[in-house]
Amino acid sequence: MQDTLLEMRSITKTFPGVKALDDVSLKVRTGEIHAICGENGAGKSTLMKVLSGVYPAGSYDGEIHYDGQLAQFRNISDSEAKGIIIIHQELALVPLLSIAENLFLGNENAKGGVIDWRETNQRTEGLLRKVGLRDAPTTLVDKLGVGKQQLVEIAKALAKDVRLLILDEPTAALSESDSQALLDLMLELKAQGMTQIIISHKLNEVRRVADTVTVIRDGQSVSSFDAAEGITEDRIVRDMVGRSMENRYPSRNVTTGEMLMRVADWSVYHPEHDDRQVIRNVGFDVRAGEVVGIAGLMGSGRTELAMSIFGRSWGQNISGTVEMHGTPVDVSDVPRAINTGLAYVTEDRKGLGLILDDTITRNITLSNLPEVATGAVLSQHRETQVAEKYRRDLGIRTPGVFQKVVNLSGGNQQKVVLSKWLFAGPEVLILDEPTRGIDVGAKYEIYGLINDLAAAGKGVVMISSEMPELLGMCDRIYVMNEGAFVGEMPAAEASQERIMSLIVNE
Amino acid sequence: MSASDTTTTTKGVGSYLKAHLREYGLLFALIAIMAFFQIVTGGTLLKPINLTNLLLQNSYIVIMALGMLIVIVAGHIDLSVGSVMGFIGALAAVMVVNWDVSIGMTMLTCIVVGGIIGGAQGYWVAYWNIPSFIVTLAGMLVFRGLSLWLLEGQSVGPFPREFQVIATGFVPDILPGSDAFKGLFGTRNFNVLAFACGIIAAAWVVWSGLRQRAQNKAYGIEDEPSSFFYGRTAIIALALVFILYKLATFRGLPNVLLTMGVLTIVYAFITERTILGRRIYALGGNEKAAKLSGIKTERLTFLAFVNMGILAAIAGLVFAARLNTATPKAGFALELDVIAAVFIGGASMSGGVGKIVGAVVGAFLMGVLNNGMSIMGIGIDYQQMIKGLVLLAAVIFDVYNKKKG
């Protein structure tokens, strides 16, 4: 058929302790739309970073052949000079500059440092027409919706003579109609001969636009098939999740007790865009001794749900009720939420969970200082005792509890965050991605801790992007997609295929 | 558990010094600068009268540095303190001199007004997320203007004797035996109370240091090497005895030294030993994490500014009493000296780091520089340049230290 534009052969990329990519191959033909599918953390983004030169030639094994030549990109400018352009999930536009200014940022139409605005605006108009936008080139990007901003990003790529356009989750933040417009544009660009790679979780979209699909799992390319062989969602899902389940989760005797917490009709709006409803009428409950999972893709609203419940720490115009032990409680700010027996272990350990420049001791006692004080005066002795207790109980590996947490490994930092919340004495803990970014050994320890908590009669709500983790740890799983719960099932009846199909069939 | 898990690692003296270079460096710099000026001024610096002056001259800077440290630790800045101080001085002058209000009532009103001013600025910073730099820059202009308006462009004074005492008075010697000491030391004056205070303060420094050290050992808390501890404690204790002895041979304990000393101890205690203090450091260290840990970050920020206003008011009273008049220019550019003192004292621009004692030492370091250079007859032009470079050097030292980790 067509000749090959890009071939990545046996790419292997290791980080200290982790093999992010293991012998991955990818072959993209000229003029096709090639979809890359895989779970979060499977290695898709790493592969694209290798391709674009973020990880320079020499820092990985394997070869990249582009346009018939061996390519060795040292940085992003190298790959962009060859026409490889990535549009990331997080848009990289400057909000307070105009569309025209953004399109030619770093690539200005200038003579001797003076910008030629007439040419800039003319060229912008031409590019905007290509992507189907009719806004004036002088419009500030800030004034555009996310969907239009995405199109501006594509126009920006076109301004750079792109030959291989890579779209990373382009529709993740878009509404249904904006998504359709974007997919139409992709097909139109293809008709003009543009080669494109799309990374997406939305398999219906993949099926619609892709000519070839490559599935990546656990850092390996597991399959590649084209439209002639038949692209079906079933096949993609099977390849995406088909890993073998080892005994990676400690076992636990489940004895669930009384109803601890029940959330009903929970709705939340975006803190900046008050017309955007992020959480839609969500309801769930947790019993004593139960581990409840919330499955869903990144961006499905899980963190927003948890943070809005925990003292309205996210969003606005929040409505719904929270009951503890059957009576409605006030969780309108964080101290009240803590008082009702809630704890929230954030997914953003460094940004929201810890005071990095402070000691382990001071981090652990922070959410319950009165417990280590007489009146208003802190007792250093009692603080130290508390810190030492959690260091022993949770196995925080450190030379001493007066070490700064910034010096600890990810797993030990996570144990410090957990210690802080255990010391606050909660009944229900919401754990948001509790094992993100920590190594396998530490993960197993965290799982053990979660089981201990459940055995001690606490209720645990576990949010995770890793489905095997949810299946291995939880008693019951809620499935979340686009701000709403789309399913609930006992873990015994759950499977990755079932959860995935609930998400993609939305 | 293995042995290495249960015993805290005992590091060498070198690595301890490296980790605490900043704190020792500050103390060492103060001593070195004092020694330098003592020599080049031919012993004038440490003369009892000059020492007394040094304390009086810097008292209002020190008082405001206490509040500024808290504001800066909380992650903010207050540029308005000089103007607020001037405004409060003007208010006091107008109340006492023009309106014949009683001194007690005036002082109370001034302190309350200071708190309200701080609150009025803190409100916008805390609850509206308006950068403190902007809010207090506005405040700086507003209160400068208000002072001018209140004083109608004139100087108002003098104050009655009882008001001046705030800044220029001395604590009367209530202890007997003055004559005996005069004979013993061969001096014309001897204030036994001042000397006794020096001895007591020195004894307290030694006792509390030893007690803390014993406790740390009992709880297994990592501590400074003993050579450092004894050296540092001895220097501080001897310095206290020496300074108070010098003061005793002049006129005794200045009232402002007492005010300053009490405030310093109270604020050091609050910041280092209480829940409130800990929460302020957490707020400055990582505001979002602090908030998610159940700390009411907005209220805390608000209170930091209220406190700053109150301390600026106290400083304003001291300053007006010392000058014995309120002028529209009082406090001009003083905020910069206060902020410089806090940064020289080791606070971090990004918040969460800094100590009360550091800020006080920083203020005196600047004070000794001012005083020493003035005695030497160095022009105000060079003085400004040197002070600027000292501030820059202190902060570069901080950053360099942190980078080396």
Task: With beta carbons less than 8 A apart as the criterion, state whether B366 and B387 touch.
Answer: yes
| pLDDT tens-place string over residues B134-161 | 999 999 999 999 999 999 989 998 999 9
Cβ neighbours around A452 below 10 Å, total? 15
Whose CA is closest to A223, among A233, A213, A232? A213
Q: Which of A89, A108, A88, A87 is nearest to A97 (CA)?
A: A108
List the CATH number of the domain containing B365. Answer: 1.10.3470
Q: How confident is the model at residue B74 (pLDDT cuts 50, 70, 90)?
A: very high
Distance between A142 CA and the closest CA of chain B, angstroms:
21
Give the pLDDT band of residue B7 (cuts 50, 70, 90): very low
Q: Are A54 and A76 in contact (CB under 8 A)?
A: yes
The answer to whether the CB atoms of A334 and B353 lie below 8 A apart is no
pLDDT digit string (tens) for A225-239? 888 888 887 788 778
Mean pLDDT of B19-47: 86
Q: What are the tens digits of pLDDT across the range A350-402? A: 889 999 989 999 999 999 999 999 999 999 889 999 999 999 999 888 888 88
Does residue B348 lie in a domain region? yes
Q: What is the pLDDT of residue A16?
A: 64
Query: Do A19 and A47 form a contact (C-beta atoms < 8 A)?
Result: no
Indicate whether A91 pLDDT > 80: no
Residues 259-318 of A with CB under 8 A from B: 310-311, 313
Measured from the Cβ of residue B262, the count of other Cβ atoms closer than 10 Å reads 10
- What are the structural domains of chain A? 4-241 (3.40.50.300), 259-341+426-504 (3.40.50.300)
Q: Does the beta carbon of A399 lie under 8 angstroms from any beta carbon of chain B?
A: yes
Parent domain of B400: 20-169+279-404
Task: Provide the 10 A C-beta neighbour count for residue A435.
Answer: 23
Q: Is residue B13 part of a domain?
A: no
pLDDT, tens digit (0-9, with 9 covering 90-100), for A338-355: 999 999 999 888 889 999
Distance from CA of A439 to the nearest CA of B (A): 21
Residue A234: closest CA among A467, A506, A498: A498
Same structural domain, B72 and B146: yes
Which three-class secondary structure state does DSSP give residue A9? strand
Q: In this predicted model, which residue has the larger pLDDT, B113 or A270?
A: B113
State mean pLDDT over B277-296.
95
B56 occurs within a structural domain: yes
Chain A residues with CB inside 8 Å of B285's CB? 355-358
User: Which chain B residue has the Cα nearest residue A388?
Assistant: B6
B204-249 tens-digit pLDDT:
999 998 988 888 887 777 677 888 888 889 998 999 999 999 898 8
pLDDT confidence of residue B10: 46
B190 and B244 in a single domain? The answer is yes
Return the exposure string of A74-89: e unless at least 16 CB atoms fall within 10 Å of the residue's CB, then b.
Answer: eebebbbebbbbbbee
Q: How many CB atoms lie within 10 A of CB B53?
A: 15
Asked if residue B355 is part of any domain, the answer here is yes
Q: What is the mean pLDDT of chain B?
A: 89
Token pair in block for residue B115: 């708190």
pLDDT value at residue B2: 37
> Residues B292, B148: one domain?
yes
Q: Are both B102 and B237 inside the same structural domain? A: no
ipTM for the complex shown:
0.87
Tokens 């540095």 sit on residue: B65
- State the average pLDDT over residues B326-353: 91
Task: Name the minimum distance, in Å, from the CA of B398 to any CA of chain A.
Answer: 15
B295 contacts in chain A (CB < 8 Å)? 334, 366
Q: Find all residues with CB under 8 Å of A450, minimum gap 6, and list them.
A: A291, A431, A434, A460, A462, A473
Cα torsion through B130, B136, B141, B146, rounded to 10: 110
**pLDDT number for residue A46:** 85
pLDDT value for A417 = 95
* E strands in A183-276: 195-199, 212-217, 220-226, 259-269
What DSSP element (H or E) covers A69?
Answer: strand A69-70
Torsion of CA B402, B403, B404, B405, to 10 degrees: 50
Residue B2 domain-assigned? no
Q: Do A420 and B293 touch (CB under 8 A)?
A: yes
Hey, is A459 helix, strand or coil?
strand
Structure tokens, A85? 């352009």
* d(CA A372, nearest CA chain B) in Å: 9
pLDDT tens digits for range A408-417: 877 889 999 9
Q: Which of B219, B274, B286 lies closest to A381 in CB terms?
A: B219
Using H for helix, E for strand and C for coil, what is the string for chain B?
CCHHHHCCCCCCHHHHHHHCHHHHHHHHHHHHHHHHHHHHCCCCCCCHHHHHHHHHHHHHHHHHHHHHHHHHHCCCCCCCHHHHHHHHHHHHHHHHHHCCCCHHHHHHHHHHHHHHHHHHHHHHHHHHCCCHHHHHHHHHHHHHHHHHHHHCCCCECCCCHHHHHHHHCECCCCCCCHHHHHHHHCCCCCCHHHHHHHHHHHHHHHHHHHHHHHHHHHHCCCCCCHHHHHHHHHHHHHHHHHHHHHHHCCCCCEHHHHHHHHHHHHHHHHHHHEHHHHHHHHHHHCHHHHHHCCCCHHHHHHHHHHHHHHHHHHHHHHHHHHHCCECCCCCCCHHHHHHHHHHHCCCCCCCCCCCHHHHHHHHHHHHHHHHHHHHHCCCHHHHHHHHHHHHHHHHHHHHHHHHHC
pLDDT, residue B5, reads 36
Nearest residue of B to residue A309 by CA position? Answer: B292
Report pLDDT for B312. 97
Q: Domain end: B235, B253, B271, which one?
A: B253
Q: Are A83 and A161 in contact (CB under 8 A)?
A: yes
pLDDT of residue B12: 64
| Same-domain check for residues B151 and B286 | yes
- Examine the pLDDT at A245 and tell me if it is beyond 50: no
Measured between CA atoms, the residue of chain A closest to residue B292 is A334
CA distance B233 to A327: 58
Same structural domain, B36 and B163:
yes
Indicate whether B6 belongs to any domain. no
Query: What is the count of structural domains for chain B?
Result: 2
Residue B34 within any structural domain of the chain: yes
The amino acid occupying position A391 is: R
Residue labelled with tokens 């206003």: B309
Q: Among A96-100, A436-440, B371-375, which is the least confidently predicted range?
A: A436-440
CA dihedral over A461, A464, A466, A467, signed as positive or negative = positive
Would you state the pLDDT for residue A41? 65
pLDDT of B289 above 90 = yes
Based on the fold, state whether residues B154 and B139 are members of the same structural domain. Answer: yes
Closest CA to A31 of A186, A224, A183: A186
Query: Cα distance from B287 to chain A (closest Cα, Å)?
Result: 8
Q: Is B292–A357 a contact, with Cβ atoms under 8 angstroms apart?
A: no
Q: Note the residue count of chain B.
A: 405
Residue ending a domain, among B218, B238, B253, is B253
Q: Are residues B301 and B391 in the same domain?
A: yes
- Element (H or E) spanning A33, and its range? strand A33-37
Residue written as token pair 């955007």 = A276
Q: Tell whether B98 is covered by a domain.
A: yes
Q: Which residue has the higher pLDDT, A80 or B23?
A: A80
% pLDDT > 90, chain B: 60
Are A353 and B289 within 8 A, CB to CB? yes
Query: Is A299 a residue whose pLDDT tops 80?
Result: no
Q: Quote the percentage of chain A above a pLDDT of 90.
A: 44
Q: What is the mean pLDDT of chain A?
A: 87
- State the best of A307, A355, A363 to mutate against chain B, taking most chain B CBs within 10 Å: A355
Do B29 and B145 lie in one domain? The reply is: yes
Amino acid B393 reads: A
Mean pLDDT score, A106-135: 87
Counted across chains A and B, CB pairs separated by less than 8 A come out at: 94
- Which is higher by pLDDT, B167 or A424? A424
| Confidence band, pLDDT 50/70/90 cuts, at residue A256 | confident
Clarify whether residues B111 and B45 are in a common domain.
yes
pLDDT digits (tens, 9 = 90+) for B156-191: 989 999 899 888 888 888 888 888 888 788 788 888
More confident residue, A444 or B59: B59
Query: Does the pLDDT of residue A240 top 50, yes or no?
Result: yes
Q: What is the C-alpha separation between A496 and A492, in angstroms, rounded?
A: 12
Judge if B310 and B399 occupy the same domain: yes
- Taking a C-beta distance cutoff of 8 angstroms, is the pair B352, B177 a contact? no
Query: Domain check: are B158 and B185 in the same one?
Result: no
- Is 50 exceeded by the pLDDT of residue A428? yes
Angle subtended at Cα B340 by Cα B337 and Cα B345, rounded to the nearest 5 degrees? 125
Identify the band that residue A244 occupies on the pLDDT scale cut at 50, 70 and 90: very low
How far is residue B68's CA from residue B305's CA, in Å, rounded to a whole number? 9
- Angle between helix B48-73 and B356-376 (nearest 10): 140
Determine whether the interchain pair B273/A377 forms a contact, defined as Cβ–Cβ distance below 8 Å: yes
